[in-house]
Amino acid sequence: MEKKEFIFEDKQYEVRSWLQDDNETYTVKVFVNNQPANGYNYSVSIENINDAKRGKFPQDLLGDLINLAENDIKEKKWEKYLETMQGEI
């Protein structure tokens, strides 16, 4: 499991990535106080990770997802999503 910690608005967050039980998919999720910080899950298959590494322009897909998860917290995307959903009710 890979972890990345960061602080945002005086809260300690932890981005975790782990290999699913199927051994074919990595999942990324953000936690605060050991609880999910939002409703987002990010995932990428090992096949896609390996394809990206072998490509002409190698890309760290898992690292990109970890950074995306952190940025979504900092941009408050989950809160914005919930506000949008409230407006549609």
Q: What is the pLDDT of residues 65-86, one digit of tens each?
A: 999 999 999 999 999 999 999 8
Cα 77 off chain centre by: 12
Please count the residues of the chain.
Answer: 89
- pLDDT of 12 strictly over 80: yes
Helix (H, G, I), strand (E, B) or coil at 27: strand
Segment 7-28 shows an average pLDDT of 95
Separation of alpha carbons 43 and 16, rounded Å: 11
Q: Is the pTM of this model over 0.75?
A: yes
| Domain range summary for the chain, segments of one domain joined by + | 2-87
